[in-house]
Structure 1
Amino acid sequence: MSTAGKVIKCKAAVVWEPKKPFSVVEIEVAPPKAHEVRIKILASGICRSDDHVLSGAIKANFPIILGHEAAGVVESVGEGVTSVKPGDKVIPLFLPQCGECSSCRHPRGNTCKKSERGEPTGLMDDGTSRFTYEGKPIHNLAGTSTFSEYTVVHEDSVAKIDASAPAEKVCLIGCGFSTGYGAAINSAKVRPGSTCAVFGLGGVGLSVIMGCKAAGASRIIGVDINKDKFPKAKELGATECINPLDYKKPINEVLFDLTDGGGVEYSFEVIGRTDTMVAALASCHMNYGKCIAVGVPPSASEMSFSPALIFTGRTLKGSLFGGWKSKASVPRLVSDFMQKKFTLDPLITHTLPLEKINEGFDLLQAGKSIRTILIF
């Protein structure tokens, strides 16, 4: 029996307030309105950004359904939707691409005007929610909310992908892999033969390493205080790994020592801490070094550093979703994966059902997982 045009009852992991565990409950998902798409989620990765919302470090409106790194199948579409149809395999996009705003039209822009900037509302364009629990609305995360068996997104926030692509793997292209890989390929434009340093060896940091290797970097130094992450980093392309806790001097001085006093050409901060952003910047060559800020910082954080760090030519650059234009690039990245131009398997350490989502976040917080994939 078709569910198009009808309210769907399904399971979702709801967070009622910050710093509280998820509750897997039955919610109601309304049909898509004009230019909206309702998706049956097949798999969703647990990302550190979700954890930042859970902890209260990133502002959001509660109650909320988190999740933004997923793959699924279109269940139904609202009036006016032309880019996807029921039955299409898709990836929801936390960073939309309307194709009309100044960022979308610019060859290097990818921060669409429809993306949530400033104070997030957690609501659709018309100011309402498609999720309810016992008659009360539940907020969404970045217009995606993939920790639910069904979700509703705007047409600008969904990309049609290869129907044969495995959802439990390509869901990572919805955030973690693309964010890291693109930071090296697009945002930094890593030069062949160069030296790179990657601060933070989680799923995104490892994807940065993969991007640096693909770009031809000759030396890739992984930096993390968890030595258990070093073997995987070396497997994916790091030439060496260092733990800041093993040294008495600041890590930027250590990296200068390791590079004969020159500093690295490219550094990547993939943690979201302002102190490590400054350290990553200070680790760069003082003239042509480029530091890419990839990690999402807490909402209330501020950063300060001496102008001398950039006066002689260093560059500090932010990178959101790896600089990819989402709707245009995600299908191509999935095709590249299907053609074995890169692998995603090493990034996936655990798979769990939605009911065990709290266990997945425990693994993340304990540093025991790279990516846990929730299977629906």
Structure 2
Amino acid sequence: MGTKGKVIKCKAAVLWKPGTPMQMEEIEVAPPKATEVRVKIVAAGICGTDIGSLDNKELAQYCPIIMGHEGTGIVESVGEGVNTVKTGDKVIILGMPQCGKCNTCLNPKNNICEEIRLSPTHLVSEGNNRITCKGKMVCQYIARGTLSEYMVIKEISVAKVDEGVPLEKACIISCGFATGFGAAINSAKVTPGSSCAVFGLGGVGLSVIIGCKAAGAARIIAVDVNKDKFKKAKELGATECINPLDYSKPIQDVLFDMMNGGVDFCFEVTGLPETVATALASCHRDHGVCVIVGAIASWVQLNISSELFFSGRTLKSSVLGGWKTKDDIPKLVSDYMAKKFNLDPLITHTLTLDKVNEAVQLMKTGQCIRCVLLP
């Protein structure tokens, strides 16, 4: 591409201080070092995790920082030792790495690579960023930072996809879609003919619905306080939609009565700690499975009555849908190309990167399911 081995100057959305709008800035992106890949971003998605972090004061220690962790692009150059992708390949940025060597990666039951636990969450490989802005080192959110025209990422966090893939669609498979769809397929293991309840109808919650439908669930109950989302939920497979504000009694009691003892599978996708107990209580008392999908702050303590566990209920979590990312995410992209599921209804807005703050507001106000940003 003529830029190999050179510093690339380009634009990125930089957060200088939590609680303030991101600023479009010119940045310098250094060439990749060993085991790293430099990617020209073609499309980036905004995830609820990004939005939740924008106002997090703890992020201040990593500012300036480039946000975003969903994306697709084209490999511009690779560092020494990279052998799974090459210059010119279409790639998807993985929501989590898969090194293929640690105990987690070698265990078929696990998917949270030790690489993500050994390094600071917001720093790129080796804690030595390849990006600067106005003379300052710039961090990359969750070692990614896709809200940029170029980025540098470890090879273990990027995967090649089919040449014909529409990158502006597939970018949301990076995290949001994979997380929701996998929560139903892998984590809950939804069974044919079963009943499901999904709490929270953002992009991830709607992806859970797609997964429940693909698994053959007979009843899929969508739960949200925003009725404007019900039409989309039904379009994607929900059989009925309910708003907790329409009832005088707790929604868990409503679902318990509706399903004669509770729902087979419940999914908490709001990220609100109090909803976990509600979702668990909505599960069938003898065999119900409740999966925590929403990102709940690590310092939050869950308040769940022990009475709920004097039963056959199961409470579990799901991280990025249980997928081994480097192995499985490209397969999900291929399944999308084979029309095994439809992503298009999830993408309600497409804007240019310089409209990033507008995109954030659209999602915060519930006017947008998923917004894709194009450089």
TM bracket (short chain): over 0.9
Task: Please give the per-residue CA displacement for 1:71-110, whole angstroms capped at 9, x wherever unaligned.
Answer: 0000000011011000000011130000111111111211
Quote the residue 2:371 is aligned against. 372
What amino acid does structure 2 have at the position aligned with 1:337? Y
SS in 1 for 2:10: strand
- How far residue 46 of structure 1 moved from its aligned partner, in angstroms, is 1.1
2:63 matched to which residue of 1?
A: 62
Match of residue 92 from structure 1: 93
| Inter-partner Cα distance in structure 2 for 1:338 and 1:187 | 24
Secondary structure class of the residue paired with 1:248: coil
The percent of aligned pairs where both chains have the same amino acid is 60
Cα 1:327–1:57, aligned 2, differ >3 Å: closer, same or farther? farther
Residue in 2 that maps onto 1:45: 45
Distance 1:237 1:213 in 2: 6
Name the CA distance, whole Å, in 1 between partners of 2:215 and 2:116.
Answer: 29
Residue 59 of structure 1 deviates from its aligned partner by 4.9
Q: Name 2:360's counterpart in structure 1.
A: 361
**Match in the other structure for 2:141:** 141
Name the SS for the 2:217 alignment partner. coil
Q: One-letter code of the match for 2:318?
A: S
> Shift of residue 135 of structure 1?
1.4
- State the match for 1:248 in structure 2: 248
How many corresponding residue pairs? 374
Aligned to 1:29: 29
Q: Which residue of 2 aligns with 1:163?
A: 163
TM-superposed deviation, 1:298: 2.1
TM-aligned CA deviation for residue 313 of structure 1: 1.9
One-letter amino acid matched to 1:313: G
Indicate the RMSD between aligned Cα atoms, in angstroms. 1.3
Runs of 4+ in 1 over 4 A off after TM superposition: 57-60
Q: Distance in 2 between matches of 1:340 and 1:269?
A: 27
> What SS does the aligned partner of 2:220 have?
strand
Distance change (3 Å), C-alpha of 1:59 and 1:278: farther
1:14 aligned residue: 14
Give yes or no for contact 1:10–1:27 (8 Å, CA) kept in 2.
yes
Tell me the TM-score normalised to structure 2 length: 0.97
Tell me what 2:278 maps to: 279
Distance 1:120 1:366 in 2: 31
Normalized per residue, which structure has more helix? 2
For residue 131 of structure 1, what is the aligned residue in structure 2?
131
What does the per-residue CA deviation read over 1:190-219, in whole Å, with 9 as the maximum and x for residues that have no partner? 011111000000111001000000101000
Give the CA deviation at 1:329.
Answer: 0.5
- Structure 2 distance, partners of 1:125, 1:338, is 32
**Deviation string, structure 1 residues 167-197 (Cα, Å, up to 9, x no partner):** 1100011011111011000000001111100
1:182-331 to 2 correspondences below 5 Å = 182-260=182-260, 262-331=261-330
In structure 2, how many angstroms separate the alpha carbons of the residues matched to 1:304 and 1:122?
29
Cα deviation for residue 300 of structure 1 reads 2.6
Shift of 1:294: 0.4
Task: Provide closer, same or farther for how the CA distance between residues 315 and 57 of structure 1 changes in structure 2, counting only shifts above 3 A.
Answer: farther
